Chains A and B, each alone.
Chain A
Amino acid sequence: METFAFYLFAILITGLFAVTVMSRNILYAMTSLAAGMVLISGLFFILGADFLGVVQLIVYVGAVMALYAFGMMFFDATGVVRENNGSPFLVFLLGGLSAVILVVIFAAPVIGHNVQALYPPVEGATNPQAVGLVLFTKYLVPFEVAAVMLLVAMIAGIILAGKKMERSLSSTRDEELLETSEKEMK
């Protein structure tokens, strides 16, 4: 059963991500990327990393993909992406070579024998409990630093995307409406 699920997820994820990379339509690419992320969370559930699977669903599918979808409203996303590549053969040669090298490296047997677990899961604890125990004791400082980094990223995103927003069509219309209403009041 686990074997079947793994191969199903693996084939589907590979196909969906290949569509993401190959598709000329940006909407197809984004949709297949989101579907691939959902299936990757399935892999995490198979591996027993329940909390990581839920985080993958919430953050990637919920937040990142929604952010891309909202960001694409600024671009003309419906058009076909123009791609003028010199030699597609070279691209696939380089990609295939890197794939072969990576697969050979990862499929090689592990020689080291004194690899031992630093933070084994606590006996009798479910996966989220064990993750919380390790995250808030051993990895507390990186956790806080990641929180500050997310805050900085949020402020940077607001400032970068919000530049020249005051000249947008909707706000000028509101100001005109306000001015006309004030004149009427007088």
Chain B
Amino acid sequence: MIGVTHYLVLSAILFSIGIVGVIRRKNLLMLFFATEIMLNAANIAFAAISSYSHDLSGQMFAFFIVAIAASEVAVGLGLLILLYKKYGTLDLDNYTMLKG
């Protein structure tokens, strides 16, 4: 029988995959994908706890996480397009204007 621990462990594994993506990637768009993976892992944990403790608060938090992810994508893609128009690349190593 599947318990809440199964879902939490799955959520932890997916979150770690997202962390590996954030550490490993040099492309800004790939960093956004890794962020989406981490947000989805948190959503799975919220939904599992909400379902197994018969409480709807977890699902509410998952809804707000979805809303935040949508607005993050809208603003972040706008900034990415501006950066790409200015520098012609999405590689993180080229954005060194703040380098001391």
Residues of A within 8 A of B (CB): 2-3, 6, 10, 13-14, 17-18, 20-21, 26, 29-30, 33, 36-37, 40, 43-44, 47-49, 51-52, 55-56, 59-60, 63-64, 67-68, 71-72, 74-75, 81-85, 88, 91-92, 94-96, 98-99, 102-103, 105-107, 115, 117-121, 130-131, 134-135, 138-139, 142, 146, 149-150, 152-154, 156-161, 163-164
Contacts and interface: CB of A to CB of B under 8 A. Distances in A.
A78 B38 CA distance: 25
Is chain A's interface secondary structure helix, strand, loop, or mixed overall? helix
Interface of B: 1-2, 5-21, 23-27, 29-30, 32-34, 36-37, 40, 43-45, 47-48, 50-51, 53-57, 59-60, 62-64, 66-75, 77-82, 84-85, 90-91, 93
Contacts of A60: 36, 40, 66, 69
B20 A91 contact: yes
A94 B23 contact: yes
A118 B14 contact: no
A44 B21 contact: no
A10 B10 contact: yes
Nearest to B82: A160
Contacts of B82: 160-161, 163
B2 to A, nearest CB: 5
Contacts of A121: 54, 56
